[in-house]
Every structure is written in structure tokens, then in C-alpha cells.
Structure 1
Amino acid sequence: MTPPSPRTVHPIEEESYRILRSRLDTSHLPPLTRAVVERVIHSSADLAYADDLVTDEDALRGAHAALHAGAPVVADVEMVAAGITRRRAVCRLPDASGGPGLTRSAHAVRLAWEEVGPGAVWVVGCAPTALFELLDLGVEPALVIGLPVGFVGAAESKEALRASGLPAVSNVSEKGGSAVAAAALNALLYTPSDTPPPAAAQSPVTAKEIL
């Protein structure tokens, strides 16, 4: 696989990160956790994600290696797919019809699973039902970025993701959405493949607990 060309960072983005780091010290976070936390905050202008996100550096490292080796990426909705800027994402929502007891988003996950099989990175930023279906299917992912938004089922689906033991990025609250889910994935794609390893393994924690 041909490595991506170096990414050009716009001055507005540089200034956004400067402001972010002036308001929140992320310097003690492991490298990939820091990349994900900062890009999610950059995409949302919401510093509270530092307390809300739940990450695991070992899981991120495995997903980072898989992505840079060409692992497929699956998005639950087209808005998430459109926000992923350095990789074409599989999104089967346009082909999904749903059915009794099955939302279109859940059906789209079934179709995507049939297409990509194990080892993919799944990015759920809209539909809690997509995340629940992913867990029910027993997929074998490189990573699940589970950041759906909403008052119905969003927090519960993310709690179920954490309880599943799958390698994951999630957050505790009801907030989330397509932009932050895509941002978390982009953070891994933008980080060079020669990122140094962390000093020690890390259990799943909130970013605030690391700080």
C-alpha cells in the first residue's frame, strides 16, 4: 500500500489547535489518545470531551496499524463517510431497507459486515441501533468508534460497547455525532505510521483520568 502524502495543515487549523492547547493540557496523554481527544475537541469546540471520551492506547495502536496497512473502514451513515477525508469508507445505508424490528441503520450494518468481514474499523456517529446491531452480529473489528448521538439509546449503546470488551473509542454521555466520529477516525489516519509506542500499557479510561 502506498503511504499517503504528507498532510498540509491550514493556518486556521493550526490556530485552533493552539487555542485548544492553551485551554487544555493534553501533553501527558499517550500519543494516539492525544491525537483522538484533540481532534474530537477541535471538530466540536467542546472541551468537555476531555472528560467524556473513553479510549485505550493499545486498542488505538492496533487500529492505527490496521488502518495504515489498508484495513477497510465502515461508516454507519453517509455524513460520517463524507467526513472521513483520507480513506473511502463503506456505507451501505443507501442499500438498506430495514424491516420488522430492524432499522435501516441496523440493516446497513448487516450488509456492510457481509461485505468487509473481520478486521475492519467501524465508525458509528449517528444511529445507536447500528451500534447495537454491530454488537449483536459478533463482528471481529480492528476498532469500533462508537459515538452515536441522541436521547434514545445513545448512551446505552456506548455502555454496551464498552461492556463488550471490543477495542473501542466511545464516550459516556448522550452527545456525539457524525463530525466527532469522523474526527476520531481521521486522527488515526493523520497520525504517521512511525508514532512511538507508549511507555506502558493502559487500561480503558477517560482522557481526564489520564490527565
Structure 2
Amino acid sequence: MNDMRQMTSLGREIEDKSFSIIDEEAGSHPFSKEEWEVVRRIIHATADFEYKDITKIHYQAINSGIQALKKGCPIVCDVQMILAGLNQDRLKAYGCKTFCFISDEDVIAKAKEKNSTRAIEAIQKAKISNLLNGAVIVVGNAPTALLEIERLIRLEGIKPALVIGVPVGFVSANESKEAIIKLECSNVFSVPYIITKGRKGGSTIAVAILHALLLLSSKRGKK
């Protein structure tokens, strides 16, 4: 059963009222109708209107993300918390499988051996497993995961369908997001992205973005 059917009439009324308040208080914005569906779901999840100003959406992000989901793409996440928040029924309806390797014993061992981070080695495992090309990659916690994705795009030619890059934190969070944005101005693959500039972000934001894309995909109609 999907999240729409699980919601009661009162729950629907509360959500609709919340979105009406967001639309009214947010005022004008530069986003398309579908992009705004993503941004206002972030605001709904956080009650923080600053996300209207710090959310950056690549011009191909919505279409690329929806098309990938409809094809049953892999969903590669940096932390288990994202998996816990995702609507697995809706993902399964499209044939999408979720992956998170950060707690795998071999990943932990390699991180210790190389004095790396588990997040980096988890992304490496996803690459070795041929999961990154055409994938939706979701980073909500670990800037080093996003930096590794940027490196793999720039130096090894991987081509994800979409990078949701919203790691939260004080060390390398903003830098990792800026690195993804700068790919757009380089001669390498300009990966479609949805990011939140600066230090703000987190797994809750990542889940909100992916759920917004799933709802948009449903509105456009299945495969």
C-alpha cells in the first residue's frame, strides 16, 4: 500500500493546509511547477523557508530523475537512515532497488586499512558493483561520499542519472556540493543534481526530495 492510500482524510486535509501555508508564505520564487513540488516538500519536512533560497536544481534534474525511476534504476544511498525513511512500496512499484554499503564489514575493513572513510569505500563498492551509471545517488549525511562521486564523474567517467547531494555538516559539506555544481561548467559530464548550498541538509531532506520525485513520477503516469 502506498503512502497516498495510507493517509486518512484528516491527514490529507492537514497536509493540504500545510502546503497552502507554504505557498502563501514563500511568495515568488524562480522554480518551475515541478521543481517547486520538490522545494516545498523540503520546506514541509523542515518548516524552514531558507531552503527556498539554498536549494539548487540542475535544469535536467527533474526529467532525468523521473525517467530513471520509471526505468527501475538503482537507488544508492550514503547512510541507512535514508533507507529507513523511503517509501519502499512506491520504489518497488517501479522496480527500483535500494543500496547502502556503509555498514558492510568489507567496507569498514577497507576504510580502516586505507585510513579512508566508510562513506568513500561504500561508494567505491557501489562502483565495483556497477550500480552508479544511470543511478539516483542520494547523499544526505557524508560529504566525503559526495566528494567521491564528484571525483568518479570527473576522473573515471561515471554517469549517474541524478545526484541528490544534501549532506549536512561543518566539514566539507558546502565544498562537496560546490564541487558537484562546478561540473556544470567543466568539460566533463554535467551530472543532473539537486543540492542544498551551504551547511544545511541531512537525511530528512534527502528523503523528502526523493519522495517528491516519486510523486511527480506518479503524476506523469507510470512507464
| Shared fold, TM over 0.5 | yes
Distance 1:135 1:127, change over 3 A: same
Which residue of the other structure, out of 92, 109, 128, is the alignment partner of 2:101? 92
Check whether the contact 1:40–1:49 (CA below 8 A) recurs between aligned residues.
yes
1:154 match:
173
The structure with the largest helix share of the pair is 2
Post-superposition offset of 1:83:
1.6
State whether structure 2 residue 138 is matched by structure 1 residue 123: yes
Percent of pairs with identical residues:
38
Q: Within 2, Cα distance between the matches of 1:172 and 1:109?
A: 22
State whether structure 2 residue 18 is matched by structure 1 residue 16: yes
1:146-188 per-residue CA deviation (whole Å, 9 max, x = no partner) reads 0000010000000001112311011221110000011111110
Which residue of the other structure, out of 162, 174, 180, is the alignment partner of 1:143? 162
Check whether the contact 2:59–2:192 (CA below 8 A) recurs between aligned residues.
no
Aligned CA RMSD, in angstroms, stands at: 2.2
Q: Within 1, Cα distance between the matches of 2:55 and 2:164?
A: 11
Q: Within 2, Cα distance between the matches of 1:26 and 1:179?
A: 25
The letter of the residue matching 2:119 is S
1:82 match:
84
* Structure 1: stretches of 5+ with no match in the other structure: 197-211
Q: Aligned runs of 1:166-181 on 2, under 5 Å? A: 166-181=191-206
The letter of the residue matching 1:108 is A
The letter of the residue matching 1:7 is M
Q: Aligned runs of 1:17-36 on 2, under 5 Å? A: 17-25=19-27, 29-36=31-38
Which residue of the other structure, out of 117, 122, 133, is the alignment partner of 2:148? 133
1:74-130 per-residue CA deviation (whole Å, 9 max, x = no partner) reads 110001121221325211111121132410011111112222141000000000001
Q: Within 1, Cα distance between the matches of 2:82 and 2:3?
A: 23
Larger Rg: 2
Check whether the contact 1:53–1:170 (CA below 8 A) recurs between aligned residues.
yes
Check whether the contact 1:74–1:112 (CA below 8 A) recurs between aligned residues.
yes
Distance 1:109 1:194, change over 3 A: same
Q: How many residues align?
A: 193
TM-score (norm 1): 0.83
State whether structure 2 residue 111 is matched by structure 1 residue 114: no
Post-superposition offset of 1:60:
1.5
User: With CA pairs under 8 Å and 6+ residues apart, which has the higher RCO, 1 or 2?
Assistant: 1
1:164 match:
183
